[in-house]
Amino acid sequence: MEFNVFEYFKDYKRGTSGPMTPQEQGTALFLGGHLGERISPHIDACAAKAGMSRRGFIGSASGFAAAMLAVNKVTGMKFFDVSEAEAVTATDFIVDQHTHICIRKDGYIPGVNTTEKGMWFVNLLDDLGKAMGLENGTKDMTVENFGKLILDGSDTRVAIFNPFGFREDYGGKDMVPIEEQAEVKQRWPDRTLMLGGGLTPNQGVGVTLDRLQMFVEDYKISGLKLYTFDSTPARGWWFDDQKLAYPIWEKCRKLGIKNIGCHKGIPFGQFMARYAHAEDFDAVCDDFLDLNFIAFHSGWPYQSELAAMKGFKPQRKNMYSELGSTFAATVTNRPLECAHILGTLLRDLGTDYVMWGTDSALWGNPQWQIDAFRKFRIPDQLVEGHGYPQLTDEVKAKVFGLNAARLWNLKSMAEAVPEEKPRIVAV
């Protein structure tokens, strides 16, 4: 009789229900071999601890780690250098809170549909994209590439995509109009959430409320991502403005919109820095306890102001932060500052209130950011000297996806089996 490898893997299930992840391939052999029956209960236990279904867990890196850990356990010998934490942490459920496309069909033409200020922003994003491997800058930040770079090309499981408004600078139309942005949601309904934006009460409260209603009714938005600096003559507004802003939050309540984000920090080029501070979150969080407010970019470089509003008011439960661009820009260039930012947010806002985001595709493929965060730690001196929590695997899992899963009610997406997708690193 000819040699047949399956003689050694009698329990290997040869008919699979589709493509497998590389980790699943390895785990399936562990389970099919003669140790399989004894490994299996350990995998179930780890899957339960990680809060995942057995099937989803087996397709993940944690599932493979659990199989190797189980071999150590059932044999009583250490064959694999693998920790309990690697095997039980659901770090594979990654929600990118902060993603964009940046293109529109009629383009950005200076003097025709784009002002000088508007062009400044387009050029900024163009340069960043080119530096990050997108040959044509913003022209490569398309719906198609959103799928290739973020959903297929990285470990991101769910991407929440964010709008750009500023229509005074873009010929009376949002920089990324909702009808074009909505194509992302139509293409990947199970892996994306869409936020509405470009609501600027300085354009008129009535028109702002009408647009909000249209976003909810026609486009089924999941939440909002707004900007308190704007391109109107007033140049900005505040979330705690009772005349301009509170009618929006009251309408959100009526329409069932619970999560409201705002660009905070990164006071770039054409906008007024004062509106990038987060002080308006203080009153609005207290006055709308049933709504959640998310500081995108975590207010960097004013993250301490944001953090203090919870550090000194620990009773607060509806203020969140998100790391888009802030992590990418500091981890590579100012690692000590990065450690302080993460430490301050985790200590004062709490480990349940800090969420992952990359601001991709502005930064191209987000995978390097994911890998950097997986490996990043806060030096012990800072942990001891500032009372920061350490970035344990458990804390990373919360930041990567568990906090967002709770906030956005993503339980069904978390349980879905990840599909194997070719890793695309460039377009």
From residue 387, alpha-carbon distances to 340, 378, 380 in Å are 11, 11, 10
CA distance 138 to 154: 20
Two structure tokens written together for 270: 């054409």
Q: Please state the closest distance from residue 217 (CB atom) to Zn ion, in A.
A: 25
181 CB neighbour count, 10 Å cutoff: 27
Q: Rank residues 30 and 164 by Cβ distance to Zn ion and give the closer one.
A: 164
Q: Please state the closest distance from residue 366 (CB atom) to Zn ion, in A.
A: 12
Q: Between 280-287 and 246-255, two packed helices, what is the crossing angle to 10 degrees?
A: 40
112 CB neighbour count, 10 Å cutoff: 9
CA distance 263 to 167: 17
Q: Please state the closest distance from residue 359 (CB atom) to Zn ion, in A.
A: 4
Surface-to-core class of residue 189, CB atoms within 10 Å of its CB (0-12 exposed, 13-18 middle, 19+ buried): exposed
Residues lying near Zn ion in the complex (CB under 5 A): 359
Q: Rank residues 240 and 359 by Cβ distance to Zn ion and give the closer one.
A: 359
Q: Please state the closest distance from residue 363 (CB atom) to Zn ion, in A.
A: 10
Q: Please state the closest distance from residue 52 (CB atom) to Zn ion, in A.
A: 29
Q: Do the Cβ atoms of 155 and 300 come closer than 8 Å?
A: no
Q: Do the Cβ atoms of 373 and 401 come closer than 8 Å?
A: no
Q: Please state the closest distance from residue 93 (CB atom) to Zn ion, in A.
A: 22
Q: Rank residues 282 and 359 by Cβ distance to Zn ion and give the closer one.
A: 359
Q: Please state the closest distance from residue 162 (CB atom) to Zn ion, in A.
A: 5
Q: Do the Cβ atoms of 269 and 260 come closer than 8 Å?
A: no
Q: Rank residues 96 and 359 by Cβ distance to Zn ion and give the closer one.
A: 359
Q: Rank residues 99 and 403 by Cβ distance to Zn ion and give the closer one.
A: 99
Q: Rank residues 230 and 359 by Cβ distance to Zn ion and give the closer one.
A: 359
Amino acid identity for residue 317 in this structure:
K
Q: Please state the closest distance from residue 331 (CB atom) to Zn ion, in A.
A: 17
Q: Rank residues 62 and 325 by Cβ distance to Zn ion and give the closer one.
A: 325
Q: Please state the closest distance from residue 265 (CB atom) to Zn ion, in A.
A: 11
Q: Rank residues 236 and 261 by Cβ distance to Zn ion and give the closer one.
A: 261
Q: Rank residues 191 and 264 by Cβ distance to Zn ion and give the closer one.
A: 264
Q: Please state the closest distance from residue 335 (CB atom) to Zn ion, in A.
A: 22
Q: Please state the closest distance from residue 268 (CB atom) to Zn ion, in A.
A: 10
Residue nearest to Zn ion (CB): 359
Q: Rank residues 12 and 120 by Cβ distance to Zn ion and give the closer one.
A: 120
Q: Rank residues 99 and 351 by Cβ distance to Zn ion and give the closer one.
A: 99
